[in-house]
Structure 1
Amino acid sequence: MPQSLIFEDHYKRLGLEIFSEENLENFNGNRFISEIKVFYIPSGYELTVDFNHYQTKTSSLFFLTNQHLNIEKGQEESMLLHYNRDFYCIQIHDKEVACDGLLFHNVFEIPFVELDDGEADLIKVLFQNIRNELEWEDSSAEEMIRTYVKQIIIRATRKWKKQNLDNATLKIPGSELDIFRDFSRHLEIHFREKHNVSEYAELLHIAPKTLTHKFKNLNLASPNQFIINRILLEAKRLLFYTDKTVKEIAYDLGYEDPAYFNRLFTHKTGSTPVNFKKTTSREKSTILKPFYLLKQGC
């Protein structure tokens, strides 16, 4: 069977890639960095998402946008669904199931859902249905594929909520969920030019103090800290994956004063941007921490 299947129609694009131990090297290199990704991974895989390393102890789904993803180890067949927003826009198509900001760029930085055996079988059937549509190339394939993508997202959203919002750490009432979802979405879109809580509060049509209190009441870090964390993550990506200077990175992230950006980075990370770049280029394994063991029931 083909290992790569693509649907393209004008600006709309969706692809399905099949990986296993024999062809994992074909995955790496950030070929899919600009696309939305839904990655089904069986147990026994080791992978890195940005600067976090994971080992799957059960089948899992990873939901990624512009994160850097690298597969280090895996045997059984994994499946990567990648598409652009012209093919499927989370915000538009899934508004009624409140997916935007939960699976793909949530403020909690939890990009995965763990699956039990029954759930894994259902997800594999949906991936296989997409594969069949891509191979058949019927005129109605686009809408059928979009339906299957939506089913995957709905099932995964329900599971993500159960695993992450119904526990003591991240318990969020349903009435408050929209605020966090919308904050996540706005942060992902605007973090380069909007650095203040007041700017996000305005987008959410609430007072800055109200937004801050909502986070505090749920024992979460402040909105300001989430904003800084997102900026620092992007700075680390640019330092690690590109040859841009610190000054160029500061400008890319909306700081007209590179010295201020340098001080912020140093204060929050304990390392200057220059030292971070030197250290990570010498000891890449050091930054692939913390190490997350994904296992059923944890």
Structure 2
Amino acid sequence: MKLHYIDPISAGELHLTVHENYFDRLFFQRDRQDKFLTIALNDGPQQTVTIDGIQYEFPAQTILPLMVSQTFSFEQPQQVIAWQYNRNFYCIVDHDKEISCVGFLFYGSAETMFIALDEQHQKKLNLLLQVFIDEFEDRDAIQRDMLQMMLKRLIIIVTRLGKKQYLNEPTLTGDKLDVLRKFNLMVENNYRKEHTVQFYANQLNKSPKTLANYFALYNHKSPLAVIQARIILEGKRLLMYTDKSAKEIAYNLGFDDASYFSNLFKKQTGYAPSDFRNAKSALFSAGQ
């Protein structure tokens, strides 16, 4: 089942995919014009999901938040239920005070999150899914408002569960988490130009040491490691999915000296950029 809502005025889009035999997202090769955030639920046994060329185990009855720019595919797409929406339909940044997911559920610096659903939340989401399906069929003047309200409820449920499962409470208090969420979003918006912790610390009116202390409570990565990880992730994507040279990618990511990017990439991945591209190309060819 594939259900779609498109607002003719705002171009806001909400898509619901339920147990389809074909469901994936190939952002760089095919879907770049579609800027969708995705909330995917594995509604069957454990399977494998491939995200940006890396395979992960996707446990049964688990929610997986996926970013706009991520390429992904599922071993068993017919088990997946997925909600996808663009900024024009519901901007999570503009509504962050309502849902508190920016910089955590989406645009966060934690590892890929697989958020487990207990029996109570499985029942809750099954009921919400049915209301979604019913509302897609009610084409009236308040359809957009109703769909937005239900999407907001879905995001809040998943965010609450994610915080319980991934945050070190109570040491990471709400005010500290808000600083980290703002940092993560700022990195997402500025990583191509700003590579120093000092820049982000200045924007947040915090010292680099304070940020480091907050991140130690969160996931034990340093702020600099978060910035560099985002740079390297984009470098990997550009190497895997485009024909840009390593030098072009370095400049695209804000490095005046291409060798500095190459050294950083090798330090983080164990590969020189050209070797990484060749290794991934060989892997894809073998898979085909």
Distance 1:195 1:11 in 2: 35
CA pair 202-140 structure 1, distance change in 2 beyond 3 A: same
Unaligned runs of 5+ in 1: 288-298
Please state if 1:203 is matched with 2:203: yes
Does the 8 A contact of 1:14 with 1:81 survive in 2? Answer: no
Note the alpha carbon deviations across 1:138-186, whole angstroms, 9 max, x for none.
110111111101111111111011111147xx96233311111111111
3-state SS of 1:263 partner: helix
How far does residue 194 in structure 1 lie from its aligned partner after superposition?
0.9
Note the alpha carbon deviations across 1:236-290, whole angstroms, 9 max, x for none.
1111112211112112111122122112112222210000000011024999xxx
- Show the counterpart of 1:244: 244
3-state SS of 2:7 partner: strand
Distance 2:99 2:18 in 1: 30
- Show the counterpart of 1:290: none
Note the alpha carbon deviations across 1:31-73, whole angstroms, 9 max, x for none.
3762111222213232112244233332122212222211122
Distance 2:237 2:26 in 1: 14
Matches within 5 A, 1:212-251: 212-216=212-216, 220-251=220-251
3-state SS of 1:91 partner: coil
- Show the counterpart of 1:140: 142
Distance 2:217 2:131 in 1: 43
- Show the counterpart of 1:118: 120
Note the alpha carbon deviations across 1:79-134, whole angstroms, 9 max, x for none.
22211112111122231442211111211123331112321221132233222222
3-state SS of 1:12 partner: coil
- Show the counterpart of 2:21: 23
How far does residue 211 in structure 1 lie from its aligned partner after superposition?
1.6
3-state SS of 1:265 partner: helix
Structure 1 residue identity aligned to 2:73: N
Please state if 1:50 is matched with 2:52: yes
Please state if 1:264 is matched with 2:261: no
CA pair 270-37 structure 1, distance change in 2 beyond 3 A: same
- Show the counterpart of 1:162: 164
- Show the counterpart of 1:9: 8
CA pair 171-12 structure 1, distance change in 2 beyond 3 A: farther
Distance 1:163 1:251 in 2: 38
**Paired residues, what number?**
281
The percentage of counterpart residues that share the same residue type is 34
How far does residue 217 in structure 1 lie from its aligned partner after superposition?
5.9
| Range 147-156 or range 213-222, more displaced | 213-222
- Show the counterpart of 1:39: 40
Structure 2 residue identity aligned to 1:9: P
Does the 8 A contact of 2:99 with 2:152 survive in 1? Answer: no
Distance 2:219 2:99 in 1: 25
CA pair 155-195 structure 1, distance change in 2 beyond 3 A: same
CA pair 130-7 structure 1, distance change in 2 beyond 3 A: farther
Does the 8 A contact of 2:92 with 2:101 survive in 1? Answer: yes
Distance 2:153 2:229 in 1: 32
Does the 8 A contact of 1:107 with 1:226 survive in 2? Answer: yes
Does the 8 A contact of 1:13 with 1:84 survive in 2? Answer: yes
Does the 8 A contact of 2:187 with 2:227 survive in 1? Answer: yes
Higher relative contact order (CA 8 A, sep 6+): 1
CA pair 258-207 structure 1, distance change in 2 beyond 3 A: same
Does the 8 A contact of 2:3 with 2:136 survive in 1? Answer: no
Unaligned runs of 5+ in 2: none
Structure 1 residue identity aligned to 2:252: D
Note the alpha carbon deviations across 1:209-257, whole angstroms, 9 max, x for none.
3222333466712100111111001101111112211112112111122
Distance 1:269 1:46 in 2: 22
Structure 1 residue identity aligned to 2:232: L
Does the 8 A contact of 1:104 with 1:111 survive in 2? Answer: no
How far does residue 12 in structure 1 lie from its aligned partner after superposition?
3.4
